[in-house]
Amino acid sequence: MDNNIILSPAQKALKINLDSTIYGSFVEIGAGQEVARNFFRVGSASGTIAKTMSAYDKDFSDAIYEREDDGRYVCKSRLEKMLQKEYSLLEERLNKDNYKETRYFAFADTVSTINYSKTTKGHGWMGLRFQLTPDGEPNDFIIHVLLKDQDAKLQQETVGIIGTNMMYACFNESNPKEILKQLYDNLSKDKVKIDMVEVSGPDFDEIDNRLLSLILVKEKMTDAVIFTPDGMNQQPSDILYKKNIITIRGSFRPVTKVNIDMLEKGLEKFKKNPRVEEENIQLLFEITLSNLRAEGEVDERDFLDRVDILCSLGYTVLISNYKKYYKLIEYLSQFTKSRMGLILGVDNLVEMFEEQYYRNLNGGILEAFGIIFTRDIKFYLYPYKPNDDAELLNSSNIPIHPRVNNLYHYLHENGRIEDLEFNKEVLNIFSREVLKKIKNCEEGNWEEQVPEGVAEIIKEKALFGWGCNIIS
């Protein structure tokens, strides 16, 4: 068969059903029994499906899988309990002597579709625990989906297609990157976003989940992914929901002391705002996909290096497709209505007021700034001084184009743009110069320009070109 041919959901379901070695259970909460339905409709399901179930009532569901500490049902922990419970039941209840050539699976999803009044958005967790070899240890493939259709029935159909694609791909494709891509077979990316993926098990031992998350952004399966200080990828709403979010954007190649000073000074001012609850603050280091490119392509190893360093310093990292700030703010606003802050340098602020970046909008720059400043957000500006002889640039003297000068002054005078204090000793540190020194294998200078411990990581792991001129 031509590998370029994409099978329909019905064809995929039938191929699974006709494979006598695949046997297991479907358990689905919410959104109907759409995945199992695909397998029943094509026939020959009796040799594949041990059980289907929908523990729809909350009390009944809790009796089977135990109540979550936070009371949620559409969450990763509930999905994991479903997979564990149903897979273990297969092992307990089936006589393995009768299933020596059988590969067990447990498919689970917990999904909430859009409501009638369209005040809630459709989303859910979907996962598969499966064996690739009889008697082998199982693997897990777990995703979180955002359903974009404005109709509950269409969202349910999407869940059915993704689940069928997941079943077929996991049993027929060894590369998790390809499994991810095949989830969109017979689907438009406008219908569903996948904003979190996690794989585990013996057949995925060599797979880095962070790289899979990068694939989500690269392939436009989602617009942003998040990594917590432990280096793990997390579902964004779990991190950002109802938080006071403060963000600093950069390439962080490498992160320097000036980046940390920007953060500390911005955070200090952010905390003083009466609308900010200190215990509710979520700090983000954001890297756009455009900042991950090297010679036109995303350098995956370089990406991991930067995430590793930032996470080792205790920070949460956001990787996004949002080159323009108004898109980033629009994205963050879907998780919170609380006060947000954005820390940026002079160059970034000047660029934000350049009209050429908003020609795709009918309302141009005014439309973009309408999106920005109808949200509860402040910009915190770190000054710029390229050398000792140059003038210090801050919010009062940055070079804004005359056509948008009035717009800038309106926002400035209304307190939406605030200057930050700064450490004079680090003001003249620039990442590009530090990177150049690293690539030239210089010692005794740049090490003092990066946060404590970062130089050791760079040298130990030979990051950013370090070691290129050292003869062993």
Q: What is the mean pLDDT of each run of 10 residues along the chain (472 residues)?
A: 80 97 95 91 95 92 92 93 97 91 97 88 96 95 96 95 98 95 95 96 93 91 93 91 95 94 97 94 92 63 87 95 92 94 94 91 93 92 88 93 92 94 92 90 86 93 75 43
State the Cα–Cα distance between residues 274 and 277, nearest whole angstrom.
Answer: 8
Q: Which of 291, 292, 118, 122 is nearest to 192 (CA)?
A: 122
User: Can you tell me the distance from the alpha carbon of 160 to that of 33, in angstroms, rounded to the nearest whole number?
Assistant: 8
The fold for domain 9-207 equals Maf protein (3.90.950)
Q: How far apart are CA 335 and CA 241, in angstroms?
A: 5
Domain with CATH 3.40.50.620 in the chain: 238-419
Q: Residue 217 region, left (φ>0) first, then alpha (ψ -120 to 50), else beta?
A: alpha
| Residue 72 per-residue DSSP state | -
In the chain, CATH 3.90.950.20 sits at 9-207
Between the CA atoms of 200, 195, 310 and 443, what dihedral angle is there, to the nearest 10 degrees? 90
Cα 350–chain centre separation: 28
Query: Under a CB-based contact definition with an 8 Å cutoff, are residues 315 and 229 in contact?
Result: yes
Q: Are 300 and 208 in contact (CB under 8 A)?
A: no
In the CATH scheme, what is the homologous superfamily, with its name and number, of domain 238-419?
A: HUPs (3.40.50.620)
Place of tokens 């800038």: 408
Question: What are residue 342's DSSP bridge partners?
Answer: 247, 379
Q: Quote the pTM value.
A: 0.89
The token pair at 224 is 């942003």
pLDDT of residue 32: 76
Q: What is the pLDDT of residue 105?
A: 98
Task: Name 390's Cβ contacts closer than 8 Å, sequence gap at least 6.
Answer: none
